[in-house]
Amino acid sequence: MFHRLRRCPPLRAALFVLVLLGGTAGTARGDDDLYQDLGGRPGVGAVVEAFLFRLADDARINHHFAETNVVRFHDKLVELLCELTGGPCTYSGDSMKLTHAGMGIDHADFNAVVENLVEAMSGLGIATGVQNRLLARLAPLHADIIER
């Protein structure tokens, strides 16, 4: 896996941010710069859509989502990203711990999901700095998602 990371500097940078910022990243209400940099609600929706297509095509991890209600997943992920980036949304889904309980997600699975998110954002032309800011906001969720 690490040989692939050497060939993908934006992914390396994103993973570095995840490790470095771990549980320290958050969002202050009213700080919607990241939300705006992603293109507001339409931009967040485009990221989620591109990300879900990548997840569906990734044989390493798509089995984790085989029984997922894709419409709900899409809607709740848009809410979550909107809220985490300072947008006007309130996440109304289950906690990350409850949502991922029993899925058996390990570090390799988590890294594959991050890779797909980075590739989705890159495919949409989102700047690496904006990507890293989003990943930093998502980093605290790591502990509630990994089970083994």
Q: Name which of 11-25, 69-83, 94-108 the model is least confident about.
A: 11-25
Higher pLDDT, 103 or 5: 103
Percent of the chain surpassing pLDDT 90: 69
Q: What is the mean pLDDT of residues 50-54?
A: 96
Write down the pLDDT at residue 31. 65
Are the C-beta atoms of 19 and 140 separated by less than 8 Å? no
Write down the pLDDT at residue 1. 31
Residue 40, pLDDT > 90, answer yes
Picking from 96, 105, 99, 97, the residue whose alpha carbon sits closest to that of residue 64 is 105
Q: Which residues of 73-102 are buried (b: 16+ CB within 10 A; e: fewer)?
A: bbebbbbbbbbbbbbebebeeeebeebbee
| Residue 12 confidence class, pLDDT cut points 50, 70, 90 | very low
Residue 88, pLDDT > 90, answer yes
Residue 119, pLDDT > 70, answer yes
- CB burial of residue 60 (10 Å; 0-12, 13-18, 19+): middle
Sign of torsion over alpha carbons 129, 81, 25, 111: negative
Are the C-beta atoms of 113 and 103 separated by less than 8 Å? no
| This model's pTM is above 0.75 | yes
